[in-house]
Structure 1
């Protein structure tokens, strides 16, 4: 249960058929609490550092400031502990912000490899989600010049053939030789794989 007057509230979407409001509550010791709506609207159930309790809903309403997309904010800032707490409290890993970007996109954009690695371990994480500009996480990493993150994304199966709204591939966005080399090599492997599959298809047709 949180007793501080310093509070920030983050809004969640509907998860697991239960409507949640995520409240990131900053107390003097920088702990974080998450709240869910209860049948009794006067009290919200909150979890903080593994401890669960009730807090008056008007306390949060009167002293809270809304911050959208807590997972995205954690990813942007490279705040691993906050990110893990969001995931532990079932914040959706593939949620989109106003730009249509995922938390993974922002982690790649910021060069936060530790955040990227954690997000990539999440079940059903969307590796190739394109935002409103058509950019993927791979585009972001290539553009910002983070070769280690480009390599990590490629190892997880990130697609190199997706073009953004300006018709640019991640390769076209690469700002250094290391990123460009990794992307070119992967594109070459994909082309060879496609040609091999085509040859196998033709061989099958010839045998019919």
Structure 2
């Protein structure tokens, strides 16, 4: 288990942990992962290094129901919110207070990224049936 509270941006120590196959998805007493704490602390370099791990769990909810995305939005780290969204973090998870990451966003940049992502997710769920209806070349 990697405890990012003690990393404080120490990439070489994190690299050593990863080289020794220390679990990246371990939970602390609050049910939070290393990714959660890296996002909470604004440690973009550590977030990026954790993303090099093929099994990183983006959507793990802690005991309060918060995800890494909730933490980054609440702390106002738009660059980290962007990274999480690019990796496929879910925007539809609610914490125990029924709040989405969007509800917790503390600045316009984070809110804008989250709104845009939710909009594209909604569009993607529409049926593709209309693509087949107007294909006149098919015989």
2:74/2:101 contact within 8 Å kept: yes
| Residue 200 (structure 1) aligns with | 129
Structure 2: unaligned runs, 5 residues or longer: 133-139
Deviations 1:95-128 (A, max 9, x none): 1111101100000000000000010110111010
Determine the structure 1 residue equivalent to 2:135.
Answer: none
The TM-score normalised by the length of structure 1 is: 0.60
1:164 aligns with 2:95: yes
The structure with more helix, counted as a fraction of residues = 2
TM superposition outliers: structure 1 runs of 4+ over 6 Å: none
Equivalent position to 2:27, from 93, 96, 104: 96
Distance 1:188 1:108, change over 3 A: same
Give me the TM-score of the superposition, normalised by structure 2: 0.89
| Alignment equivalent of 2:107, drawn from 176, 196, 207 | 176
Q: In the aligned structure 2, how far is the partner of 1:75 from the partner of 1:184?
A: 33
More strand by share: 1
Find the structure with the greater CA-based Rg. 1
| Cα pair 2:36 2:71 within 8 Å, conserved | yes
What is residue 107 of structure 1 aligned with on the other side? 38
Unaligned runs of 5+ in 1: 1-68, 204-208
- Greater RCO (Cα-Cα under 8 Å, separation 6 or more): 2
1:147 to 78, 94, 110: 78
